[in-house]
Amino acid sequence: MRVHLPTNLNQVIPGKTAIMILAMRLRPVLRLRRLVAKPLRRSARKLRGFVRDSVTLGGLCPVSSNRSRTLAVMLGLCLSAVFVSLGASEAFARRDAHGFIATLAGDDRRVFEAYLAAKTFHDADLDAFWAKVDSKRKQRRAKKKKGSVITARDYVDGYPPEYDGPSLPSALAKAWSKYLLDDTKPKTRKTAKELPGISDYLRQAKAQYGFVPDRIPEREFKKRYAREALRLGLNSDQVVRVYALETSGLGTADMQAGIHPIKRTGKPISSALGYAQLLAANSINELQKHGVSFLKRLRERADDPNIDSSRRAALETKIAALSKMVKRVKQVPQRWSSHQSFARTDAGMGVHPINIDGDIGPWLQVIKLKGIRDTAVRAGRPGIGPTELELMNLAGPGAGLEMMTSAGLMVSTVNFFSRGGYERNTIVRGTTARGLLERLSQRMDENVKNSGAQEFYEVFAEAQKELRAQN
C-alpha cells in the first residue's frame, strides 16, 4: 500500500485527492482498529475543515505551505494506523471505488467523490459512537462486579449519528450498484456468505448424529408445547404473546427468522428457529444444561408398555442420536462465545433441529422461557409479565433485567444491543428501554389476533381442561 505525499510542501495538492486518500483508508482502519478511533476521528474532523476551506468545486487549488504541512502530517498519522494493521486491511484498501472513479468524468466524478468522502466521515462518526457504547458497557460490567450502583451517567446518551450528506443522483447510483455487482471484474472483497437454512441444519443433523426430527402436525406441536408450559408453571399469555411477537402470530414449529412461515419466501437473517425463535447457540446451551433430563424422559417413553413397536423403535433411534449430541455439547466450554463458535461448525449445526422434533422441541423451547422467568424471579421480579419476558428473550436475560432498572429504562437501547443487533432489528432502534417495552406490548396486541396465536390460545384452553380432569 503506497501513498506518495508531496515532497515539496509548497506544491499544489489536489484537495479532492486528499479526501480520496483518506476515504480509501480511514474507514477500514476505524473498523479494524477501534482503539485508534478517537484520535482518527479528531484528525478527520480537522482534515474536513481544511478541505472545506481549501477545495473548490473545480477540483484543484493551491494550498499554503503551513496547511500543506499540517495536511500531510494528518494524512501520515492516519496512514500510519493503516500500516499497523496492514495485513488485515490490505484487501479493504484496494476498494472498488478506485476503479469506478476512473470511469467517471466531470460533474459525475466530483459528485461521487463528494458522496464517498461524506460517507467515509459518517462511517468514522458511527465507528466512534459504537466504540463509546462498547467502552461504556465494559465500564458497567466492571462496576457490577464490584457491586457499585449503575446510574444514567454509565450509559451513552442519544442514538447513532444519521447520514446527512449528499446522495447520488438516480442514474449515478444505478451505475455504482451495477459496477459493484459486475461479476466479470476481479473482486477485492469476499462475497457475503448466505446464512444456513433449515435444509442445511437438517442435513448436518443426519450426517453428524443420524438424527431426523419427528415432524408432527402443527396443532399437535402446539398442544405438546402448551402441556409442557403448564407443567413448568408458565401461563398462556406468557407463551402465546411471546410467540406472537417472535413469529407475528403465524409461526410454525420450523419457522426460521427471515422466512415467511406461510409463504415460505425470504432468506434467513439469523439462526432463530421455532415458536420462541431460539438461536443455534441457544440450542447448544440448553442441551448442555438439560440434555440428560431429555434423555431420561425419552427413555421413560420408550419403556412404556402401551406404545407400539414402531414408536418404540423410533424412540430408541432418537435416544441414540440425542446421546451423541449431549456427549458432544458437553465438550464445549460453558461460555456464550463458545456456544456461538460451536454453532457455526457442522457438529453445532446438527444440534439445532431438535427444536422442530415433536418430542424434544416443546421441551427445549419451553424450558428456555422458564429459564428466563427463573432468572427474573432470582433478581426479585417474581411477577414478570409476557412483555418483560419477551424483552429478556430479545435482549438476553441480563440485558433485559438491566433495561428494567430505573436508570436503564430512561436510556437509549443502543446500550443493550450489539451494533449488528441494533441495526438489524427495527423494533429496537431509535427509542429508550421504556419505549421498547411499549413497542413490544403494542406489537403483541396486534399479533395475537392472527390465526396462529388464536389457535395457540385454543390449544392452551384444551390443555388446561385436560390438566383439571387429571386432578
Q: Is the pTM of this model over 0.95?
A: no
Average pLDDT over residues 367-395: 94
pLDDT of residue 15 exceeding 90, the answer is no
Cell of 270: 439469523
Rounded to an integer, the average pLDDT of 114-134 is 93
Domain ranges of the chain: 15-181, 198-470
- Please tell me the predicted confidence (pLDDT) of residue 9: 34
The larger pLDDT score, comparing residue 326 to residue 84, is at 326
Q: Which single residue is written with the C-alpha cell 484537495?
A: 15
Closest CA to 123 of 34, 61, 216: 34
The total of other beta-carbon atoms located within 10 Å of residue 144's CB is: 14
Report the pLDDT averaged over residues 362-387: 95
Rounded CA-CA distance 471/464 in Å is 11
Largest CA distance in the chain: 95
Q: Report percent pLDDT > 70 for the chain.
A: 77
Give the three cell numbers for residue 33: 482498529
Q: Which DSSP state fits 360?
A: H
- CA dist., res. 260 & res. 252, Å (int): 10
Least confident of 26-30, 157-161, 276-280: 26-30
How many CB atoms lie under 10 A from the CB of residue 224? 20
Instruction: Assess whether pLDDT exceeds 90 at residue 466.
Output: yes
**Residue 42: its pLDDT value, please?**
54
Q: What are phi and psi of 266, to 5 degrees?
A: 105, -175
pLDDT in tens, 305-314: 999 999 999 9
67 compared with 202, residue with greater pLDDT: 202
pLDDT at 70 over 70: no
Report the pLDDT value the prediction gives residue 107, as an integer from 0 to 100: 87
**Chain CA centroid to CA 194, Å:** 14
Apex CA 141: angle with CA 145 and CA 161, to 5°? Answer: 165
Close Cβ partners of 247 (under 8 Å, ≥ 6 residues apart) = 255, 261, 275, 277, 452
The answer to whether the CB of 6 falls within 8 A of the CB of 72 is yes
In angstroms, rounded to a whole number, what is the distance separating the alpha carbons of residues 34 and 40?
10
Range among 17-31, 207-221, 261-275 rated most confident: 207-221
Sort 37 into a burial class: Cβ within 10 Å, 0-12 / 13-18 / 19+.
Answer: buried
Q: Return the SS3 of 358.
A: coil
pLDDT higher for 50 or 45? 45
Rounded CA-CA distance 373/393 in Å is: 10
| Residue 426, amino acid | T
For 206, the grid coordinates are 443426519
Cα–Cα distance for residue pair 81/77, rounded to 1 Å: 7
Give me the pLDDT at residue 126, please: 94
